[in-house]
Structure 1
């Protein structure tokens, strides 16, 4: 049975494109009262986050300034993101926006991309290998996230509290956030995630979320970071809806690709 996945829409080079995988919802929270009782749609919100705490969180736009994905700084010259994000827009059109907590401002830096590396095994987010590294022109003067050791299992233990970050939609199909948001979600066991998604691959994916739902990433958050402390353990990849019960977010398992990311993120030699 096919798994229904969300699709992100973005405006790139004047054309509306459908991105075939989704970004799990960006942080969510539930209202204390039942909003349906008051005739209001269910709220999927989240907490405002600070770049002072997460300086490695960045987002991607096209050349027209339309935000379509998230990313995470992994060195002074590179960011990691989802492969489906890297393939959504031509290299020449991608912009990396760093140091800008509120998208309505002109703070921080906007950098173009000189190189795109996509995992050679990637074909579709639901088949794994949803990881890419973008090399920027110039320097990213912000603290990068730490990478886990290759094969590291400690950060992936069931119940480990992780933080997902992004500027995506605050409800399934709702408005995108103007500022960085975060949500704390527990890592889900491989067996539990496999029962929720029959496409789940424990080598290339990791799930995080509550059984009852209510906290997740959403459209526009694809490519953004899932961190434990400052250690990057996941990249927002796909999911079924945003914050649905029994449907945790699915992330790229970064430890599997740590060596590849380090090789691609190695700062360029000058001169």
Structure 2
């Protein structure tokens, strides 16, 4: 891939490599974690708080057959999950699990579904070239409520300053440890011109949207790739890449879902 791993916020680790999965994934993380008394990262994350799948039933995570979480995803139909192409490229459906209804990765709550089909946008080559979208077909219908996704009629949801929600189980600092629990944060969408100033020609407004504060401090990070960017009750973005995590002047970059709505719908 042309993009560097820190841009992808990759969670390629020993557990992932051992499972022979090649995903270079990103996650929902915030800046400078503060450990709680029990050693876990709690709500003292800048801009982030614990969240529940009872509130966000459509947020899921991708795991290896051994249970290692490496990316996020969004349930958009009872048996369909939207995630990032860079989370699934090169992998077989039989190696992937989708976990729904589980806030605590160490618990056995919720449902673990197998994947029967992986669709990757045929134009995907690298995150900085766009098309970072994938649709997974599950082996069963889940009971969780799916989330509608943005279409070309939802251009208003992409206005600069729009308040959006990010979720995931990823690292709580760049290169740090992944969160045991589902976390959420609120970030504003940035203007295309501002994102272009940050990332230059790597940013393409047709395929991407950026979100974050100018001063940084709240962002997605390693392990959150494929997870949702939500506004107006719809999935508007897929966590894709960024320069570090929560760095000032470098917002998170998300696949612009409305651009791919027709292709996603075709998979449903």
Q: Hey, what does 1:256 align to over in structure 2?
A: 259
- What is the rounded CA distance, in whole Å, between the counterparts of 1:209 and 1:246 in structure 2? 9
- Correspondence 1:9 to 2:12: yes
The offset of 1:261, in angstroms, is: 1.3
TM-score, L = length of structure 2: 0.88
**In 2, distance between residues paired with 1:116 and 1:17?**
14
Residue aligning to 1:205: 208
Q: Secondary structure at the match of 1:60?
A: strand
User: 1:11-26 maps to which residues of 2 (within 5 A)?
Assistant: 11-12=15-16, 14-15=18-19, 19-20=23-24, 22-23=25-26, 25-26=27-28
Counterpart secondary structure, 1:262: helix
Counterpart of 2:69 (choices 61, 67, 90) is 67
1:183 aligned to 175, 182, 185, which one? Answer: 185
The C-alpha deviation readout for 1:198-237, integer Å capped at 9, x for no partner, is 2101011000000000000010000000001431000000
The one of 236, 240, 243 equivalent to 1:240 is 243
Tell me which residue corresponds to 2:40: none
CA contact (8 A) 1:8 1:18 kept: no
3-state SS of paired residue (1:153): helix
Structure 2: segments with no counterpart, 5+ residues = 35-43
Aligned match of 1:91: 93
If the length of structure 1 is used for normalisation, what is the TM-score? Answer: 0.87
In the superposition, relative to structure 1, how do residues 92 and 18 fare at CA in structure 2: closer, same or farther (>3 Å)? closer
**Which of 168, 176, 194 matches 2:196?**
194
Q: Is the 8 A contact 2:33 2:173 kept in 1?
A: no
Q: Which has the larger radius of gyration?
A: 1
- CA drift of 1:45 comes to 6.8
Contact 1:116–1:134 (Cα < 8 Å) also in 2:
yes
Contact 1:7/1:18 (8 A) holds in 2: no
Q: CA RMSD in A?
A: 2.3
Aligned residues: 254
Instruction: Note the C-alpha offset of 1:50.
Output: 1.5
Greater per-residue helix proportion = 2
**Structure 2 CA distance for aligned equivalents of residues 142 and 18 of structure 1:** 28
Distance in 1 between the 2:22 and 2:176 partners? 16
Matched, 1:162 2:157: no
Please identify runs of 4+ aligned residues in structure 1 that moved more than 3 A.
15-20, 29-32, 42-45
Q: Give the match for residue 141 of structure 2.
A: 139
Separation in 2, partners of 1:83, 1:238: 12
> What is the CA-CA distance between 1:7 and the residue it aligns to?
2.8
Could you report, residue by residue, the CA deviation over 1:163-214 in whole angstroms, capped at 9, with x for unpaired residues?
0000000111111111110010000111110111121010110000000000
CA contact (8 A) 2:220 2:239 kept: yes
Matched residue, 2:48: 46
2:150 to 148, 151, 155: 148
Change (3 A) 1:81 1:12: same
Provide the residue aligned with 1:214 in structure 2: 217
